[in-house]
Every structure is written in structure tokens, then in C-alpha cells.
Amino acid sequence: MNAITTQENLALNINRIDYLGQLLSQIDTLKEQADSIKDQLKDEATVPGADKSFVGDLFKATVSESNRTTVDNKSFQAALIASGVDSDVIAKCVAAASKTSAVFAVKVTSR
């Protein structure tokens, strides 16, 4: 097996990075197009009495709506402190209810 030289490895990395950048650019364009179609379907499905399912020749799309509640952690903790809850107790509760996991990101930008 031939060893890859530093120069060859550098060329492979440049090509690989450029290819990744091109793919991500294409994905962004496709995502914009898909989001536009999704927005149209959401608009059509939210008309009272409208169908929520759309059928094509190969795929079926269904629009569903749900409510999501989020908590503003800083304002929640501030309200608890203002109500007299000890900040150490709040910190322990937050730590007990928190989950930490590793997150990796690769950001590619055009040059």
C-alpha cells in the first residue's frame, strides 16, 4: 500500500472541503425550495375545512399542527428568586433537570 504524501493529503483535503462546500450550497438551495412548498401547503391546510393531506404520484404530504411550549429559563429563575425561592435551591433543581450531551458542528463557508 502506498503512503500518501503530505502534498497529496493536502490536495485531497482541499478537494474534499470544496466538494463539501458545494454540497452544502446545493442543500441550502434545495431546502429553500422545499420550505417554499411547505409554506404553500401550510397556508392551504389552515383554511377552515381544508384538507390536511396532499397526494402526489410518488409521495403524500400531511400537514399537522401542534402547540409547543418553551420556558425562558432566565426569566423563570428570576421569578422564582423574586418569589423568595433560594437561588441555591433553584441551581440544584436546574442541574437535576438538565441533560448535557456532546454536540459537534462543521461549518463551511464560501471563500
14-62 confidence digits (pLDDT tens): 788 888 888 899 999 999 999 999 999 999 999 999 999 999 898 999 9
C-beta separation of 90 from 100 below 8 A: no
Q: Assess contact for 29 and 21: CB atoms under 8 A.
A: no
- For 31, phi then psi, to 5°, come to -65, -40
Other beta carbons less than 10 A from residue 111's beta carbon: 5
The pLDDT tens digits for 60-88 are 999 998 888 988 989 999 999 999 999 99
pTM, 2 dp: 0.60
Q: How far apart are the first and last CA of the chain?
A: 35
Contact call for residues 52 and 63 (beta carbons, < 8 A): yes
